Amino acid sequence: MDSLLRCLAIDDEPLALKQIANYIEKTPFLELVTTCESPLEALDVLNKEVIDLMFVDINMPDLNGLDFVKLLEKHPLVVFTTAHSEYAIEGFKVDALDYLLKPIGYADFVKAAHKAKHFFELEQTHVKEEIRSNQEYLFIKSEYKIVRINFSDIKYIEGMREYVRIFTENNKPVMSLMSMKSIEAMLPPSDFMRVHRSFIVNLNKVTTIERQRIIFDGKTYVPISEQYKDKFQAFIDKNFI
């Protein structure tokens, strides 16, 4: 199955925003993460979510779309939308992938979306080659960076469709486009165990277990599913006093 492009739509006009959202939802290879009516709201989303493609209106009060994208040190693929054709050249100066002139027809939208899909797939062929590991750490592609993660720092890993989210000590989660099966193969089996279809835990970090759940930091609950219960119980029995 091909990966879905996770999309963010930004426009201060509710009707225009709704149209873009509808177009995203009816396009099979796109996934709408959320919509925002201002760039400042979008900044918060970009800090919390993995976004592959943004549809950004140029004509917005306070901070226009062009200046918003220029502010971002690294940004997802960008398609600008506007009612004014004179912004086209400026849009391409900030590495915009495409430019849609309002009113936007679905045929033009799909053409831009296919261009984004092509660029996204080209990038991912390189991403999948960039994960490396040894017995102590791994290097993984996250957003637009290569990040080193020490195995000893990992608490648990959560699978989210085509992405994994790695929770480490004292740092915000690291997200990367890869499957749970792929990252599981990179982890030392003596230290890590899959306890649920969507969770892998660092066995060295397991301190509290309650009602088929592993508790991290007294507030995060990782479920142990029936499929993996016996294997995890064997680990507990082996180390039980």
The predicted-structure confidence for 133-158, as pLDDT tens digits, reads as follows 567 888 888 776 788 899 999 999 99
Q: Measured between alpha carbons, how far is 95 from 74 in angstroms, rounded to an integer?
A: 11
Evaluate whether 119 touches 146 at the Cβ level (below 8 Å).
Answer: no
Q: Measured between alpha carbons, how far is 160 from 167 in angstroms, rounded to an integer?
A: 13
Determine what percent of the chain is predicted with pLDDT higher than 90: 48
Tell me yes or no: is domain 5-127 CATH 3.40.50.970.
no
pLDDT in tens, 152-164: 999 999 998 778 9
Q: Measured between alpha carbons, how far is 55 from 28 in angstroms, rounded to an integer?
A: 17
Evaluate whether 149 touches 187 at the Cβ level (below 8 Å).
Answer: no
Q: Measured between alpha carbons, how far is 196 from 199 in angstroms, rounded to an integer?
A: 5
Among 8-12, 68-72, 126-130, 215-219, the least confident range: 126-130
Evaluate whether 164 touches 180 at the Cβ level (below 8 Å).
Answer: yes
- Nearest Cα to 3, choosing from 40, 33, 42, 29? 29
Q: Measured between alpha carbons, how far is 198 from 86 in angstroms, rounded to an integer?
A: 48
For the chain, the residue count is 241
Confidence of residue 22 (pLDDT cuts 50, 70, 90): very high
**DSSP-derived secondary structure letter, 61:** S
Tokens for 163? 């992405």
pLDDT in tens, 100-121: 999 999 999 999 999 999 888 7
Evaluate whether 82 touches 102 at the Cβ level (below 8 Å).
Answer: yes
Domain with CATH 3.40.50.2300 in the chain: 5-127
What is the CATH T-level fold of the domain 132-238, as seen in this structure?
OB fold (Dihydrolipoamide Acetyltransferase, E2P) (2.40.50)
